[in-house]
Amino acid sequence: MKFYVISLGCPKNLTNSEEFSARLLAKGHKMVFDPAKADEIIINTCGFIASAVKEAKAEIRYALDLKKEGKVKRVAVTGCLVERLQEKIAKEFPELDTLFSIAAQETVENTLKERGTILKPLPKKLWIPKYKMSLTAPHTAYLKVADGCNNRCAYCTIPFIRGSYRSKPIKQVIQEAKLMIENGVREISLIAQDTTSYGMDLYGKPQLLELLEKLLKLKGLGRLRIMYGYPHRVTKEIARLMASTDKIFHYIDIPLQHIADPVLTRMNRHCDAAQIRRTLDMLKTEVPDISLRTNFIVGFPGETKKDFNELKKFVKEYEFDNMGVFEFFREKGTAAYAMEQIPAQVKHERARELEEVQSRVIDKINKRLLGTVLEAISDGADFGRTYKDAPDVDGKVTFTCPVEPGRIFKARVIAAQGYERELEPLEMNLV
């Protein structure tokens, strides 16, 4: 069988696509990169928010059109959308051959032979794949250290979709990292729904610090990147380890969601504004060149103009290097669904206003960056990212001269506008 994969949503979902694709390859099937040349299209969906559902449905229609034209024989859909809306998807798209759950990806070859909806319960322990391939560029990869979530934020469907928090054993994570390094990966991004809770379920307490210490001992390691930390679990010990080595990019993604205490309480976030500020201040003190990425939700039920103004002031004050802004969308099954909603127009205006605030912040950051020397990684001969930019989600840079893809090097910032910057390569012998 020749198969083509469409992987949607977050890096966590991408790692699932890599795992079931590798299993199919191990069984002798062939992956193709042109959907019209495939026997079967497999769409691994995101179902986290309304825009993701819309995107997934568009991809399903596209694949089914190819099937109607006789260019592919079968279309299968898996992922978070199936976990949430399998009955609706089956009814809306009766031409689909197979709908299968995330757990059914473990036996993907047999699953694809069946027709209809194939559902299996999520395991209590995180399944450890025997096979893994990369759907990213050869020099960068995501290493999922855990799946699921126990935080139960009032707006979030992840616990219903992905289940309770489940970590991979440290030994397994180290083995995966070794394999990545052997295959030429130079940038390993550690991911989970909450990376800073890593190991809590297996060892009785968070073990991210211990995991990082072991990963740093790996021969040939290029750089580590930490994604998706929870504010009150980012410790001083983690920050000091980061500051002590160039093997961990001085970057961390901490989705804060808001800063006003009344909103944080209604969101069921397990930290308050004071704790968030202490964490960010600690990071800036311990790692002076730290690059901070975050996300905020505007228009959450009950968010007042005062709350929103506090958020704007906070964004101006802390000057995040990268920031996502999302309008709140109510999701069935969450605690926030039943709360009194804010009008859509108000949410839209607040999102635009906060984005404008962040735009002015980036202008200030860019002025400081001009002439400075940063560590960068090349994704192509003439483009890449600085250490401040994670794959897929953050800004990109261009280079004044060609650089071998995957190279990590020092470069001077010679131009900067918005999230687009131009760099002059300098030291090329770092990694």
CA distance 275 to 235: 12
pTM of the model: 0.91
Instruction: Name the one residue in this structure whose structure tokens are 């890599």.
Output: 18
pLDDT digits (tens, 9 = 90+) for 130-140: 666 788 889 99
Work out the number of other CB atoms within 10 angstroms of the CB of residue 214: 15
Residue 249 CA to residue 344 CA, distance in Å, equals 38
Burial class (CB in 10 A: 0-12, 13-18, 19+), 355: middle
Yes or no: say if 254 and 213 are a contact pair by the CB < 8 Å rule. no
Q: Please name the CATH architecture into which domain 373-425 falls.
A: Beta Barrel (2.40)
Spatial CA neighbour of 271 closest among 261, 284, 282: 261
Q: Which CATH fold would you assign to the domain 2-118?
A: Rossmann fold (3.40.50)
Collapse the DSSP code of 369 into the 3-class scheme (helix H, G, I; strand E, B; otherwise coil) and give the result.
Answer: helix
Question: With contact defined as beta carbons under 8 Å apart, do 167 and 201 qualify?
Answer: yes
- Of the candidates 424, 419, 406, 394, which has an alpha carbon nearest to the alpha carbon of residue 185? 406
Fill in the amino acid letter for 53.
V
Q: Mean pLDDT, to the nearest integer, of 364-389?
A: 96
pLDDT of 49 reads: 77
Mean pLDDT for 225-254 is 97
Question: ∠162-85-197 over CA atoms, to 5°?
Answer: 15
Q: pLDDT band at residue 431, thresholds of 50, 70 and 90? A: low
Q: What are the tokens at 314?
A: 């906070």
SS (H, E, C) 133-200: CCCCCCCEEEEECEECCCCCCCCCCHHHHHCCCEECCHHHHHHHHHHHHHCCCCEEEEECCCHHHCCH
* Domain ranges (residues) in the chain: 2-118, 373-425
pLDDT digits (tens, 9 = 90+) for 308-322: 999 999 999 999 999
